[in-house]
Structure 1
Amino acid sequence: MRIHNAFTLGLFGGLGVLVAIAIGAAINQLAVILTYVGAALFIALGLDPVVSWLERRDVPRWLAILLTLVAVIGAFAGLVFALVPVLVTQTSKLITQVSDWANSLTFSDFIANVQSLIPKEILDVDATIGAAVNALLDPKNIAGIGGGVLTAGVNIASGAFGGLIVLILTLYFVSSMRQLKRGMYSLVPVSRRERFIEISEQVTESVGRYVVGQVSLALCNGVLSFVYLSIIGAAYPVLFAFVAFLFSLVPLVGTISGSVVIVVLQLMFNPESISTVIAAAIWYLIYMQVEAYVLSPNIMNRAVKVPGVLVVIGALAGGTLLGILGALVAIPVTASILIIVKQVFIPRQEAH
């Protein structure tokens, strides 16, 4: 349809802009739900290789799915009932130790020590602290602090609810992965379907292997941290092993960030045993080298083959756009783009 009238052309253009804005607003409103769906699909693709591995050993697909789901639910339940009580106990001890450490300090001595470092003409520490206390006692600020605490509580509850939603969606995606793929493939024209299926299978397999590899690295760090911290008599070994596991799930910077956090906290809460802190620091320095040059190449190179510079760029871009979740999915997404470029774009360029 050709539009010769300038007004009509402008009207249709304006309607197109409004539709685009409406679609963008709808996506923004659904951002949380889309994040839940993306996280669940990401985890499901990580579990799909386990199902396929069982199928290759003559296990019926329904039984392979059932065994995988039972293993996931059992691991989650075991984590809750076995690890959480220990974490709560050690966390409460840690909080108590921080409180006792803070109470052992004399506030007036603290102010005097700080003031001795800063000339009173530049900053009157006592007057500044008094002004800060008066500001905190202001009714308006108290209301703001109360609102912040309420918001934090709501965010925690929302996070727990979101985790439950992700778990339910993951179970659904794992059980219906083959049907989902079949439905997606049916939308592609028959002339291109075979090629599309081949590339899609490579992409999903790459994502699944990456999830398995990253979790394997995190488990390795967590288990070895618990064993070593227990041997050297470090404070709260279960808690800090869990911290090491969580940080190691984040690619590139996760292991080094978790190691620094653990060593600093050991120094804060176990200052009388400097040898333990030094032993922990040496351990993590050695472990980071082993992970970088032995574990990660042997585990991750079998999962995704992505040049190092693209790994860094992808992780930075993903973290900037979607935070931690973006950093987690950045590497498999980058690997998927590389597969598409190699399988589709480069052959087309060579054909011309």
Structure 2
Amino acid sequence: MTLRSVFKGWVEHYFSDEEAVILLVVLVLGFAIVIWLGRMLAPFFTSLVIAFLLQGAVSWLERRGIPHLLAVILIFLGFIGILLAMAFIVMPLIWNQLVSLVQETPRMFASGQELLDDLQARYPNLVTPDQIQDWIGAAGRELTQVGQRALTLSLASLGNVLALIIYLVLVPILVFFMLKDSDRLVGFMLSLLPQKRTLMTRIWQEMDDQIANYVRGKFVEIIIVGSVAFLTFAFFGLPYSALLALSVGLSVLVPYIGAAVATLPVAAVAGFHFGISDQFFYVVVAYGVIQALDGNVLVPILFSEAVNLHPVSIILAVLFFGGIWGFWGIFFAIPLATLLKALVQAWPRGIKGHSEHQAVEVLSEE
């Protein structure tokens, strides 16, 4: 058996159906547009994601008898209200705490050095002066790199003011029209596809509700976990509560890894502020309770309809799509992995199963 015959058999097995070839072309074009034109079309893709999230609320109002245009206006005004609240209330608070944290970093660094010296005095056989100097040197280099990155980011952001203004103007306009004319836009996109699209329709119907529920559920999970974390940290008097709560809320985007990474800043700030005391352990235990309730109560409620993916598949999806598309890649890693799983299961068995189903229908009619 030659390589040519093997390749020919593989092509005939997977691409003998015309619809499978068209679906492959659509997928390749879609990924190519996102990869090569993603930066240029970023406002459009951002608006598309937001409109996709808000469409569920618009449909919910329509099912209760509210006209489409009025439902769109109400949801759009709520969206604008949330943006204004974040711009004038949440973001200034987080920015002020971030500035305070940067200013207090040298004092925290000195406290850490005192703690290492105390450990060396207590356990001279386990912690040597050379190890302490190595740790201090490594921490100093990391702080220097963080400072350089922050300076580079701040200088680069000066040139992005125009881009931010474009986002603030274009994104709300695009979101409004995507919600208002959603049926026309979807109809136009469907008109570009061939009439025979049974496989694509089945895959889209399978994925639509799952992706929508996942994305909306993630936003709700971020808000709930971040809010509860902020109230908990504020109750214990932990400094930088808003900044830490933001990191804890965003940590739910990365399954398994995010919770572990978010633990470090929470424990570090609590340790520097309270020392190794009862208050420190109270904060750590409360944070552990939040993570436990999120994983065992909130996630099953929000994602009861989610498909079952192996943890290895989830981590690989986060690494792969996060490396390609950054934040949005991490956010949509699980839906994209679910889409790939649906494609693998439906291709080519979905085509074969559809043919068998049609044959059964014909026989039953006869």
- The verdict on a shared fold, with TM-score over 0.5 as the criterion, is yes
Residue 248 of structure 1 aligns with which residue? Answer: 252
Residue 347 of structure 1 aligns with which residue? Answer: 350
User: Does 2:49 align with 1:42?
Assistant: yes
Please state how far the C-alpha of 1:177 moved relative to its aligned partner. Answer: 2.5
Residue 336 of structure 2 aligns with which residue? Answer: 333
Q: Give the partner amino acid of 2:320.
A: A
User: Does 2:91 align with 1:87?
Assistant: no
Indicate how the Cα distance of structure 1 residues 55 and 96 shifts in structure 2: closer, same or farther if over 3 A, else same: same
User: Does 2:257 align with 1:220?
Assistant: no
Indicate how the Cα distance of structure 1 residues 94 and 227 shifts in structure 2: closer, same or farther if over 3 A, else same: same
Residue 78 of structure 1 aligns with which residue? Answer: 85
Rounded to whole Å, the distance in 2 between the matches of 1:237 and 1:254 is 18
Q: Give the partner amino acid of 2:156.
A: A
User: Does 2:279 align with 1:267?
Assistant: no
Residue 305 of structure 1 aligns with which residue? Answer: 307
Residue 362 of structure 2 aligns with which residue? Answer: none
Indicate how the Cα distance of structure 1 residues 73 and 255 shifts in structure 2: closer, same or farther if over 3 A, else same: farther
Q: Give the partner amino acid of 2:229.
A: S
User: Does 2:237 align with 1:230?
Assistant: no
Rounded to whole Å, the distance in 2 between the matches of 1:158 and 1:288 is 39
Indicate how the Cα distance of structure 1 residues 263 and 251 shifts in structure 2: closer, same or farther if over 3 A, else same: same
Rounded to whole Å, the distance in 2 between the matches of 1:104 and 1:316 is 35
Most deviating of 87-96 and 64-73: 87-96
Indicate how the Cα distance of structure 1 residues 338 and 244 shifts in structure 2: closer, same or farther if over 3 A, else same: same
| Structure 1 portions without partners, runs of 5+ | 1-23, 137-143
Please state how far the C-alpha of 1:301 moved relative to its aligned partner. Answer: 2.5
| Structure 2 portions without partners, runs of 5+ | 1-30, 121-127, 357-366
Q: Does the CA contact (< 8 Å) of 2:229 and 2:290 recur in 1? A: no
User: Does 2:283 align with 1:280?
Assistant: yes
Rounded to whole Å, the distance in 2 between the matches of 1:27 and 1:318 is 12
Q: Does the CA contact (< 8 Å) of 1:86 and 1:238 recur in 2? A: yes
Q: Give the partner amino acid of 2:351.
A: R
Please state how far the C-alpha of 1:339 moved relative to its aligned partner. Answer: 4.0
Indicate how the Cα distance of structure 1 residues 271 and 210 shifts in structure 2: closer, same or farther if over 3 A, else same: same
Residue 141 of structure 1 aligns with which residue? Answer: none
Indicate how the Cα distance of structure 1 residues 97 and 207 shifts in structure 2: closer, same or farther if over 3 A, else same: same
Query: SS of the counterpart of 1:189?
Result: coil
Indicate how the Cα distance of structure 1 residues 54 and 340 shifts in structure 2: closer, same or farther if over 3 A, else same: farther
Q: Does the CA contact (< 8 Å) of 1:185 and 1:193 recur in 2? A: no
Indicate how the Cα distance of structure 1 residues 203 and 26 shifts in structure 2: closer, same or farther if over 3 A, else same: closer
Indicate how the Cα distance of structure 1 residues 176 and 343 shifts in structure 2: closer, same or farther if over 3 A, else same: farther
Q: Give the partner amino acid of 1:117.
A: P
Please state how far the C-alpha of 1:176 moved relative to its aligned partner. Answer: 3.0
Residue 64 of structure 1 aligns with which residue? Answer: 71
Which runs of structure 2 are paired with 1:97-112 in the superposition (5 Å)? 97-99=104-106
Indicate how the Cα distance of structure 1 residues 39 and 329 shifts in structure 2: closer, same or farther if over 3 A, else same: farther
Indicate how the Cα distance of structure 1 residues 27 and 80 shifts in structure 2: closer, same or farther if over 3 A, else same: closer
Residue 58 of structure 2 aligns with which residue? Answer: 51
Indicate how the Cα distance of structure 1 residues 273 and 85 shifts in structure 2: closer, same or farther if over 3 A, else same: farther
Q: Does the CA contact (< 8 Å) of 1:45 and 1:204 recur in 2? A: no
Indicate how the Cα distance of structure 1 residues 296 and 99 shifts in structure 2: closer, same or farther if over 3 A, else same: same
Indicate how the Cα distance of structure 1 residues 105 and 289 shifts in structure 2: closer, same or farther if over 3 A, else same: closer
Q: Does the CA contact (< 8 Å) of 2:239 and 2:269 recur in 1? A: no
User: Does 2:317 align with 1:314?
Assistant: yes
Q: Give the partner amino acid of 1:93.
A: S
Which runs of structure 2 are paired with 1:73-152 in the superposition (5 Å)? 73-99=80-106, 117-118=129-130, 148=152, 151-152=155-156
Q: Give the partner amino acid of 1:41.
A: L
Indicate how the Cα distance of structure 1 residues 52 and 292 shifts in structure 2: closer, same or farther if over 3 A, else same: same
Q: Percent identity?
A: 21
Residue 13 of structure 1 aligns with which residue? Answer: none
Most deviating of 198-207 and 222-231: 198-207
Indicate how the Cα distance of structure 1 residues 62 and 198 shifts in structure 2: closer, same or farther if over 3 A, else same: farther
Rounded to whole Å, the distance in 2 between the matches of 1:251 and 1:162 is 33
Residue deviations 1:240-266 (CA, integer Å, cap 9, x gap): 222222333444433332233222233
User: Does 2:175 align with 1:173?
Assistant: no
Rounded to whole Å, the distance in 2 between the matches of 1:247 and 1:171 is 30
TM-score by structure 1 length?
Answer: 0.70
